[in-house]
Each structure stands twice: as structure tokens, then as C-alpha cells.
Amino acid sequence: KQEVTQIPAALSVPEGENLVLNCSFTDSAIYNLQWFRQDPGKGLTSLLLIQSSQREQTSGRLNASLDKSSGRSTLYIAASQPGDSATYLCAAISSNTGKLIFGQGTTLQVKP
């Protein structure tokens, strides 16, 4: 059974700091891994999708990496801004079941 874990559960940093969010998964048989952003009281917005054959994806100040052999993904946020404050969720699509399994999320607060 696929399990996805995110560490830390919460993170508070000063504006301008570079930071890394961690995601680990137990089953390496995945189609892809996605990172989502969720603002309070809102739905989920897809940030980056890394296909199983890829090692990383970049979008602006965001860079996500994937290491299937170790069961890990990281989301790197450069030069953090207060507008980056949100909950970040990672999710893996199992290639065995096609189901998207989520981690519990990391709640980020960037202080001005």
C-alpha cells in the first residue's frame, strides 16, 4: 500500500529565505509525483508534475526533484515571499492502481 509522508508539518521562515519541503513515498511504482498548493479555504492548485522518467521540474522560483530509488521528492522554493504562505501537498499516482495518494501537507508561513 502506497503511503506518502511530508516533513515538516509546518514551517515558518523569514522573507527571502530559500527553503526545501520534503516528501517521501513507500512504493516506487509511480506514474508521476505532483506538488500542489492549497490556500486557506480554497481548493488545490497544481504547481509541478514530475513524470516517473524525469528527475526534476522547474517553474519560476519552484524546483521539484524526484528520486524514485530512494522514494523521495523535494520542493525547493527560492527567495521565499509572503505570498508563498500556504499549505503544500505532494501526491503520487500509483502505476499499479492509478490512484493519487496524498501526503498530509506542509503548512508554510513566510514572514515579511
Partner 1 sequence: NAGVTQTPKFQVLKTGQSMTLQCAQDMNHEYMSWYRQDPGMGLRLIHYSVGAGITDQGEVPNGYNVSRSTTEDFPLRLLSAAPSQTSVYFCASRRIPGTQETQYFGPGTRLLVL
Q: Is the CB of 43 or the CB of 112 nearer to partner 1?
A: 43
Residue 89 burial (C-beta neighbours within 10 Å; 0-12, 13-18, 19+): buried
Shortest Å distance, C-beta 54 to partner 1: 9
Specify the residue, 61 or 99, whose C-beta has the smaller distance to partner 1: 99
Q: Which of residues 80 and 103 has its CB atom nearest to partner 1 in the complex? A: 103
C-beta of residue 67 within 8 angstroms of C-beta of residue 50: no
The sign of the torsion formed by the CA atoms of 18, 32, 67, 25 equals positive
Residues that bind partner 1 (CB under 8 A): 4, 31-32, 34, 36, 42-46, 49, 51-52, 89, 91, 93, 95, 98-105
Q: How many helices (H) and strands (E) does the chain have?
A: 0, 11
Minimum separation from the CB atom of position 62 to partner 1 (A): 15
Query: Minimal distance in Å, beta carbon 85 to partner 1?
Result: 18
Whether the Cβ atoms of residue 50 and residue 56 lie closer than 8 Å to each other: yes
C-beta of 101 vs 108, nearer to partner 1: 101
